[in-house]
Structure 1
Amino acid sequence: MNKPLQINPIKLSQPMGALLCFLGVKNCMPLMHGAQGCASFSKVFFTRHFSDPIAVQTTAVNDITAVIDGGDYSISEAVENITKKVKPDLVGLFTTGMTETKGDDIKGATFLLKETQLMSYVHTPDFEGGLESGFAKSIEAIIEQLVEPKNEIDMQKALLIPNVNLTPIEVEKIKDEISSFGLETFALPDLSESLDGHLGVKQGALSSGGISVEEIKNLGDSALVITVGDSVNKAGEKFIEKNPKSTHLHFNTLSGLLHVDKFYKALMDFKHISKPKPSVVRWRKRLQDALLDTHFALGGTDVVLALEADQVLSIATTIKEAGANIKAIVIPTKTTALDELGCENIIVGDFEDVEKELQEADLLISNFHGERIAHKHKKALLLRGYPNYETVGNQLVNDTLYEGSCYMLFEVANTINSL
């Protein structure tokens, strides 16, 4: 990035990533330590994206309490108010830019409440990082603070650590594939059971599903931990510190033919299996055919991507295999995750940069805020990432594994052909 500021940002804040992470823990109450408006914005943002109610509370720090309060009082008061109405299994405490600048001791505040409420805390200032890092930091905090160290492993148990860009249905699909190898599979966090769009009994004040606190505590004996996305690689390493006997398999993406091949090969090697199940072989052949069918539309198409880095890698990997040309990539935060793509035009920037690059391109893949730019320049548009206010069913969009890669290729080809 060569500008001193972002004019029309793509970036989302770290606290928003932390909120999503804690929503993947069953009966959890995410507690944002900051001003009331910060939590209100995040709640509305994700409610519109998922078309579902979002559980979040705030310590509601204002200009007066920010000056005279050390953070302890507003946190303890918020927890007291929460527990008068509901009994969360976990309160996920995360910070904002204001409380981080002020220097509140959230670890100490959590310690003072340990006898009355189980809590997990994480520092997520919104003046650094972004959605991916806030999500990943929260996973690391949960592992460090809640997972009990173990010296033995259960060879029938596996843990999946997804990155923030994987939709609830994608998490479910990956869990199912790991389970098909005879492994009881848990996801941390597990949005496939909380934000998957299921019809609950009523609107809850706590997260409506996900991995339970008891399950988190007992994850330490997992024989296998699988991390998907560069942003959560460190979380897998943190888990290995809890049990060095566990095996850590890391994949930057599970999209596209070659990367999904590596995923199944690694699982087969781990379980000492020589052949995958017939459905896997069948979907691989379908993806091969999809690559041939969509090559006529995608071959030579100039594409601009403006998304979080891990999602850019997944989508770009898939469409490049069908012959698309990645003209430019605009990401909100700096990363080395995209080095393997071989794209020379990677910009840490904003939608102003996107608009400049799009003028000579055919297709924009971005979130809802890219729609105006695409329409202005009469370019094809594929909506992905956060937020997507244009369509419903975002939680069930699947771009991963052989099956999802097929769907992605067909959707991109149809989008180009319809322009």
Structure 2
Amino acid sequence: MTMKESFELAKKQYEKWGIQVDNVIETLKSVPISIHCWQGDDIGGFEVNKSELSGGIDVTGNYPGKARTPEELRNDLEKALSLIPGKHRVNLHAIYAETNGEAVERDQLEPKHFENWVNWAKEHGLGLDFNPTLFSHEKAADGLTLSHPDPEIREYWINHCIASRKIGEYFGKELGTPTLTNIWIPDGYKDVPSDRLTPRVRLKESLDRIFAEDIDEKYNVDAVESKLFGIGSESYVVGSHEFYLGYALKNNKLCLLDTGHYHPTEVVSNKISAMLLYSDKLALHVSRPVRWDSDHVVAFDDELKEIALEIVRNNALDKVMIGLDFFDASINRVAAWTIGTRNMIKALLYALLMPNDHLKKLQDEGNFTERLALIEEFKSYPFGAIWDYYCEQMGVPVQESWLEDVKKYEEEVLAKR
């Protein structure tokens, strides 16, 4: 049986439930995923005076082929994008600036330091997102930045975030699609603090100054990202979920949910519908925590499917900005991007192929027997045939055949670094 024949048979099974598969495919084509650049070089960046990785972040493994230059990183991203269906975005950190060998402090970064990224994005029809980098720096060595008791250190990081918003605005103007500029800080304490309030007061004041200048959301959208704990901040994190949720709602900013930043018994999928009641939009960093915020490559697991279902069944594809955030140096880095991003798209397709309206109706009627039965039966519906056809239509490898492209790229490019 040909792939087209398998697709047509699968299509009939879904369409008996009123699911218009052709419309589903068109919808999926329109959903961009923001792919994080830092998987390609283990969050190293290209600063002239590089600092050791810090801020509770760790990358394990030493698989050969890590990108060493902006050109290598962009080439690796191009290879990954050629294996991923759809048109997407690339997410940058400030440490990926290109300064032509000049040591430029982060609070002095300008749009010109990212011109090569913008030209590359234009060439490939990509949007760009951005993040100020408030870690791996001598002024963050004690784990405090925007909440630091030293006003000079706070000032440095405030100015860095202001500069980052300007860079985000530049991206948006140049590329014709708004940039999500997201602030995450490592601030917290290893042991139980004697004062939880004052650092949060300082953080709030810092954020107020960062966001004092209005930037048109047509070009730049601001987000703030919380965390439960990290290495070196096990007992207390200044920017908690409650802090940022309150700040975002009061100040019309996006609250960004990272799937690894909560207690292991919490799931982001359960937060999406609650937050969309009070926020026009929200943002995600999709990762895979294993016991803690370990940022494993995204797998096609139950939580990923549930996140996709919550977005789709609540008609929120245009309200949730989906980004990825994982870094694994124990496997081929191009393969990591490919696996994780394809899985995110695959989960959205899975959600779009569910009879969501009918399942909602069953719940309202109290018909929990049929609801459960259908949810379980749809797990073995011929979803794979639709996915394969979609990949073929989008001109990317079908099933595991993309691995051959990665192996060849490794032999010809990565192994020679």
TM bin, normalised by shorter chain, reads under 0.3
* TM-score where L is the length of structure 2: 0.27
By relative contact order (CA 8 Å, sep 6+), the higher-ranking structure is: 2
* TM-score where L is the length of structure 1: 0.27
